[in-house]
Amino acid sequence: MLKKIILLGMMGSGKTTIGKALSKKIQLDFYDTDQIIEKECKLKIKRIFEKYGEQYFRKKEEKITLKILSYNKSSVISLGGGAFLNKKIQKQILKKTVSIWLKPNFKTIYDRCKKSNRRPLIKNNCDLKLDLKKLIKERYPFYSKANLTITLNKTPKFISMNIIKRLKKIINL
């Protein structure tokens, strides 16, 4: 059976790190949509936003994510934080994958975003707390459509093991 496991959630929720650890444990291919966009554009996401704007990035994100979702291959796929808000992407994910919302607490998200300088939606002079809260308010209703929600604030290894335990109850791993 084809297994596509999607990790979604806010920036700083650990999608890439946990996706990598999980894919290794269950021996599936791993795709990270942001990394593929960067490779294809030969630019970091931050530069893509600066040079071409967010709309351009969102179009690329849609194209690349839909392409990966169409592969006839089992895999673990980590999305960028905004990808699941795209209607076409969301429809495909809800139709043919097992989706997992990584939902650490606000402090974890805030601390990780504060440390990072590679995220274009986080401006140096912004009120990070306020901006994240706004994004959360807008996005959580979408993220909550995922099949599983993981609210642990633990290590990637621990979270991967917990995901596997929960996945085993709903699919053949």
Q: Which residues bind ligand S3P (CB under 6 A)?
A: 11, 15, 34, 45, 80-82, 119-121
The packing angle between helices 45-52 and 33-41, to 10°, is 60
Q: Which is nearer to ligand S3P, 127 or 171 (CB)?
A: 127
Min dist. Cβ of residue 164 to ligand S3P (A): 22
16, 24 contact by CB (below 8 A) = no
61, 82 contact by CB (below 8 A) = yes
Min dist. Cβ of residue 84 to ligand S3P (A): 10
Residues composing the chain:
173
Min dist. Cβ of residue 169 to ligand S3P (A): 27
Q: Which is nearer to ligand S3P, 142 or 161 (CB)?
A: 142
How far apart CA 134 and CA 128 sit, in angstroms, is 10
Min dist. Cβ of residue 98 to ligand S3P (A): 19
Rounded to the nearest 5 percent, the helix, strand and coil shares of the chain are 55, 10, 30
What 3-state class would DSSP assign to 13? Answer: coil
Q: Which is nearer to ligand S3P, 118 or 168 (CB)?
A: 118
Structure tokens at 59: 């179009």
Min dist. Cβ of residue 41 to ligand S3P (A): 12
Identify the residue whose tokens are 């139709």: 95
Q: Which is nearer to ligand S3P, 116 or 168 (CB)?
A: 116
Q: Which is nearer to ligand S3P, 4 or 14 (CB)?
A: 14
